[in-house]
Each structure stands twice: as C-alpha cells, then as structure tokens.
Amino acid sequence: MTKSKNAITQKQNRKRKKKVLITGSNGMLGSSLLERLKKKYSIKGITIEDADITDFDAVVKVIRKIRPDIVIHTAGYTKVDDCESNINLAYRVNGIGTRNVAVACQRIDASMVYISTDYVFDGTKDSPYIEFDAVSPLSVYGKTKLAGEEFVRQILNRFYIIRTSWLYGAGGVNFVDTIINKVNTVGAEGNVPLKVVDDQTGSPTYTKDLADKIGEIIDRERYGIYHVTNSGSCSWFEFAKKIIDISHIGPIRLISIKSSELNRPAKRPANSVLQNFMLELEGIPLLRRWEEAVGEYVRKTTSVNM
C-alpha cells in the first residue's frame, strides 16, 4: 500500500507544472517570459509594487509565500548612463537586490536564473567572448551586474547566469523603437541626418527568442553560466540601417560616428559579441540570426508587409 501511494505521489509530481516566479515581470524581458513560458510552467510575476528587491524582508516574504521552484530575476537598474551618477542606487538594486533574491531562493530551496549582461566584459578581445573569459567591466552598470553574478554564485548551488546583449522587444524602451521614432521625427523636420555609432559591435537579441531559450535551458536543469543572444553580430550603425531598410521608413540620411562624439557618461565595450559557447557544448540549438529576428519584430511593430 505504501509503495502504491509513493508511486502515485511520484506520478503526480511528474505531472505537476513547475512554478516559476519572474521578478520585474512588467519589463521588456519579464513580459516576454510571462507570455512565452505560461503554457509549460505555472507562472507568477511580481513588480516593485509587490516587493522592492532592495527590501530584504519584503523579498523573502513574497518568495516564501509563493514558493516557486524557479525564480527568474529580470528586475534591475538598467539605465547605463544614470548608473554613473547614482552609484549607490545601482549597487543597491543590481547587487544587493540580487543578493536578496538569491537568499530567498536558498531559504525555500528554489533554483535561480539571473539575467546579466555583455557589459561585464571590457570589449578589448578581438573575437567573441565565451563564458570562461575573464570579466572586466568598464562602467558602473557593468560592475553592479557583475556584483549580482558574484552574489548568486556565492549563495546558491543551483543557478543559471544568463548573459545577453542589445535587447529589444515589446513593453520597454529599446533601440529598434527608438530608431523608428527618430526617423519619423527627423523625416517630419526635413533632411536632418540621423547619427549612429559604428565602433561598437554586438548581437541584437529579441526578448521573445531569449525567453524561449531560457525556458529550454531551465527545463534541462544544466546549471551554470550561459551566453544567450541571437546569432551573428553587427555595429549599432548596421543595426539601425537594417531597421530602416525593413520598415521602409524614410528617406533618411544615416551617418556613422564614433562613440567619443556622443560624450556619454558610461564607457561601453567596443566588442560586445557573446559566443553562445555553453549552448554549443551542451548541444542546445542556437538562436536564429539577428536579421531574421529583428525583421519579425519590426513587421509586427510597424504592420509592414514585406
């Protein structure tokens, strides 16, 4: 009788959907995760209104109440230039906030997915960065995201650190929407050129594709650090040109400039390309080319039929 009950319990556990909690669920990636993972997992999203991640007691309380199997931590302070003048806030949110989430996960024996960034590298490598390369962030933002990584690694045994880059998608401010809006504005004002930097290279990544791949990674339970981006790379200038070509907006004069001409507070890595090396080693299919992904997003956003 006992064996029979145990067998039934094991069968029920196998059928039970894993419970996934997403912090920052109203953000660009958070909203994509809610949409893309809801069929396979029991999904719950929280925002700062539910629990401020910098408030240790509040974070522990809400995570303990929900008792998820996995926490995907997307919440963070992502205004790169503002981080340079708000150092304490940046460390409090990206560093201490991540520690708080990690401790809460530890207390209920949940695994954690931490969303990190290409900005943990200095951009001096002449080839794509792999997960095993030494980190050396240039900006306060990069340093605080690295602090978050270190807290996760120190506190938890079961974690995924997902480094990604140049995100765009529905539900947030992103480069694709910015370019389309600027071109429409410039076009209305006359023949004013649009200037975009050409000395920073990275891999534009669609949040929908990233969310799907995160779901695949956590389903396999192969913990560790992963680089996850759409395949291929380009400069911001090439990215802007592709957006304009796909959306058929214009005419517009697109001019390439150097990063130094913008005089922005935070220094960006010149080479932001992340090789998805761990995906390759694990035999996990890579994401589609960035050109295909941005084409889909632009067509959905602008309702342009190719």
Rounded CA-CA distance 112/23 in Å is 11
Q: What is the DSSP letter of 283?
A: T
> Please, are residues 137 and 183 in contact by the beta-carbon 8 Å criterion?
no
Rounded CA-CA distance 18/251 in Å is 50
141 is catalytic: yes
Rounded CA-CA distance 160/296 in Å is 28
Tokens read off for 223: 């913990």
Closest C-alpha to 279, from 287, 271, 269: 287
Closest C-alpha to 272, from 137, 168, 140: 137
**Is 291 buried (19+), middle (13-18) or exposed (0-12) by CB count in 10 A?**
middle
Angle value at C-alpha 180, between 267 and 117, nearest 5 degrees: 35
Tokens read off for 9: 């319990």
Rounded CA-CA distance 192/243 in Å is 18
Tokens read off for 209: 């594709």
Half-sphere exposure of 12 (CA within 13 A, CB side): 6
Q: Out of 141, 206, 226, 297, which one is annotated catalytic? A: 141
Tokens read off for 85: 């003048």
Q: What is the DSSP letter of 103?
A: H
Closest C-alpha to 270, from 258, 282, 279: 258
Rounded CA-CA distance 186/210 in Å is 32
Catalytic residues: 141
